[in-house]
A and B are shown apart, each in its own frame.
Chain A
Amino acid sequence: MFYREAGDFKTSYRDDGQTFPIKLDRIGYYAILAIAVLVIPFVINDYWASAVLLPFLIYAIASIGLNILVGYAGQVSLGTGGFMAVGAFAVYKLMTAFPEISVVIHILLAGGITALVGIAFGLPSLRIKGFYLAVATLAAQFFLVWLFNKVPWFYNYSASGQINSPERTVLGWAVTGPAASPSAKYLICLAFVFMAAWVARNLTRGMVGRKWMAIRDMDIAAEIIGVNPLTAKLTAFGVSSFFIGIAGALLFAVYLGAAEVTEAFGINKSFLVLFMVIIGGLGSIFGSFAGAAFLVLLPVFLKNLLVGTLGWPTDLAAHIELMIVGALIIFFLIVEPHGLARLWRLVKEKLRLWPFPH
């Protein structure tokens, strides 16, 4: 009844082009933001932070990044795990080499380094398309993981080959290392998520985003109307890898604290993020959040149900969980191949007409 644009008059182009044109959406957005910043940090505990909120926020950044590449620019990539590893190892090297500089700058720089690596591995996309490209990006995945495994310089010659994040503070609060409190970790991730979503939203509705979408829809036609495929594809790879690198850096430094490259950044991570993007909805920032939330919450929920409530052994529960995740993915693809974002849009359409459906 309140969810409609009728009566909400726009008097400037700026108003008309805003992200949330409907008043209720706008209020809801600010309310969620207020809860996320003002309420959750005070009630958060270790379990919620490590099981739900931190992975959700970090994977949300990664899936925004991948969504830019796959959903907006139409270049399928299976190298996400490898690019996250670049972010993680870059931030590790920076943190240990320059301890006096703020960790926020390190994380941003790690994103920048990942962007360069992403552009390098994006170069073949100018020649290779479709599935061949998807498989070609696997080269990045395997090569990068091997590199971080085999070259001791990257893990500072530690005996185990693991990297451990040292303690660093932001504004006097420890955000990495064992002493960091859940709320500090949560807030730093939230800040990066907010930045990622804001930048991505504004990039994708501007000229850059429109060029990406033109390339996605038909690259030859886009080239004819004056979109340079070289810059469009490479900026997509760069921006996407920047976010994925930040997600990798946060995953290692803030969430995991210690990481071993084959285990933390293997091929499964690439698929996980790709699933988030597909289930959430290709070409939608909201979809990235929805997909990340769904795939982070589902295993937690299934584990609680199977092990906690039914009391099955953990290994059996893990296998059944695998089956259910697989089946749900197929189910979702059959029922709604355009993802949760499309469902959300349908709900909004219905809501706009409610309670008078005609």
Chain B
Amino acid sequence: MDQLLYGSEVLINGLMTGVMYSLVALGFVLIYKASGVFNYAQGVMALFAALTLVGIMEGQVPFAHLINAMFGTHVESFGWNVPALLAILLTAGVMVLLAILIEKLVLQHLVGQEPIILFMATIGLAYFLEGLGDVMWGADVKTLDVGLPQGISESIEQATNDWFGYGFFIDRLDIWATIIAAILVAALVAFSQYTKQGRAMRAVADDHQAALSVGISLQFIWIMVWSIAGFVALVAGIMWGTKSGVQFSLSLIALKALPVLMLGGFTSIPGAIVGGLIIGVGEKLFEFIMSSPDLAGSWFGFTISATENWFAYVLALMFLVFRPQGLFGERIIERV
């Protein structure tokens, strides 16, 4: 019975983590659908957005380190603090600017190249942004606090303690992340279904040439999609940054989002969400079962730990063998 309660606590936490994975995966899906580019830099974009947000909020001078090294000065900070909401808006502006630059400097020159070349270009972009983020704002670990509630939710612990005699530990940040992710997804779906730009975006996703021929500007759509992806990255960056500090490891969440994508299919927004939930729950439960001496210990005679790094990939791999296009992906039809 105790194990069951622990297990269900793990399950709920897994669901919440899964929502965070979905948030990152969503950025991938948007770009992949609209431009056929598999954007490896999505994770680094989240890191960059979070770094920029912290930098703006604390009034850091961008490139301070570089300026000091070149001119021997000692500039560090403007000495003001920007309120969180304004800083978020400014960061969103920076992400739009970034999207425009990426479109102008990179994508425009690579139209019609093979997907693998575009993929490699986004890895180059990831390296560049990682370096840029560090040079602009410094490489030290930063704390991000935009006023989201943190810590264990006492009311849930109290309530579950009264019901089951065992208090569930659930982070309030996770609850907020779930709510915000749900709003974001609803907004994105509404945007792509009911607005003119959203329809244009879906048209581009379906067929570049047909979209061009009815007068949709590819350039504009791409900038828009990358801006939205930048905004999703900003939201993901805020969530993960508040949770575990703004540091390099933040960019590695992209690697966590990849199996989510494989499971859900690269082209499906619901797939990204369902895949995220499956992977979040799956890896937490697997880790819980395999590292618990009472469960795996008594069943198999051994326990293993830190399985979270690979479990998602192996799960997705086994899944793909039976369904190569993922859960919700478009059917792959091959013609000779």
Binding site for B on A (CB under 8 A): 76, 124, 127-132, 134-136, 138-139, 142-143, 145-146, 149-150, 218, 220-221, 224, 267, 271, 274-275, 278, 312-313, 315-316, 319-330, 333-334, 337
Contact = CB atoms under 8 A, between A and B. Distances in A.
B246 to A, nearest CB: 16
A127 B320 contact: yes
B162 interface: no
Mostly helix, strand, loop or mixed at chain B's interface? helix
B336 A323 contact: no
A316 B134 CA distance: 8
Nearest to B135: A319
B113 A337 contact: yes
A316 B124 contact: no
A218 B336 contact: yes
B54 interface: no
A336 B110 CA distance: 11
A321 B324 contact: no
A271 B321 CA distance: 25
21 contacts: A124-B321, A132-B262, A132-B320, A132-B326, A135-B258, A138-B258, A142-B313, A146-B306, A146-B307, A221-B336, A271-B123, A274-B120, A312-B70, A320-B131, A321-B131, A322-B131, A326-B125, A329-B124, A330-B105, A330-B125, A337-B110
Contacts of B127: 322-323, 325-326, 329
Given A275-B123, A312-B70, A326-B127, 15 more contacts: A127-B321, A127-B324, A132-B266, A139-B313, A142-B309, A145-B309, A150-B306, A323-B128, A323-B135, A326-B126, A326-B128, A326-B129, A327-B128, A333-B124, A337-B117
B75 interface: no
B123 A329 contact: yes
Interface in B103-132: 105-106, 109-110, 113-117, 119-121, 123-132
Contacts, number: 139
B66 A316 contact: yes
Contact of B121 (A130, A218, A319, A330): A330
A168 B305 CA distance: 35
A312 B110 CA distance: 34
A329 B120 contact: yes
B159 interface: no
Contacts of A274: 120
Contacts of A149: 306
Contacts of B121: 329-330, 333-334
A15 B79 CA distance: 75
Q: Which size bracket describes the interface of B in this complex?
A: 35 or more
Q: Which 7 A-B pairs have the closest CB atoms?
A: A326-B128, A326-B127, A322-B131, A329-B124, A323-B131, A139-B313, A142-B310
A132 B324 contact: yes
Q: Could you say which of A312, A326, A337 has the most chain B C-beta atoms within 10 Å of its C-beta?
A: A326
B310 A143 contact: yes
Q: Could you say which of B70, B128, B266 has the most chain A C-beta atoms within 10 Å of its C-beta?
A: B128
Interface string B123-159: 1111111111011000100000000000000000000
A2 B255 CA distance: 52
Contacts of A146: 306-307, 309-310
A130 B69 contact: no
A153 to B, nearest CB: 13
A165 to B, nearest CB: 26
Contacts of B328: none
A319 B133 CA distance: 9
A131 B117 CA distance: 12
Q: Could you say which of A134, A139, A142, A146 has the most chain B C-beta atoms within 10 Å of its C-beta?
A: A139
B314 to A, nearest CB: 5
Interface in B300-327: 304-307, 309-310, 313-314, 316-317, 320-321, 324-326
B334 A135 contact: no
B261 A135 contact: yes
Q: Could you say which of A127, A142, A224, A313 has the most chain B C-beta atoms within 10 Å of its C-beta?
A: A142
B255 A131 contact: no
Given A127-B321, A131-B38, A220-B334, A275 B259 contact: no
Contacts of A139: 259, 310, 313-314, 316-317
Q: Could you say which of B129, B310, B332 has the most chain A C-beta atoms within 10 Å of its C-beta?
A: B310
Contacts of B109: 334
A143 B304 CA distance: 13
A146 B69 CA distance: 40
A224 B336 CA distance: 10
Nearest to B102: A330
Given A150-B305, A150-B306, A326 B131 contact: yes
Contact of B262 (A135, A278, A325): A135
B243 interface: no
B119 A136 contact: no
Q: Could you say which of A76, A143, A221, A267 has the most chain B C-beta atoms within 10 Å of its C-beta?
A: A143
Contacts of B129: 326
Q: Could you say which of B113, B126, B131 has the most chain A C-beta atoms within 10 Å of its C-beta?
A: B131
A313 B67 CA distance: 12
A330 B124 contact: yes
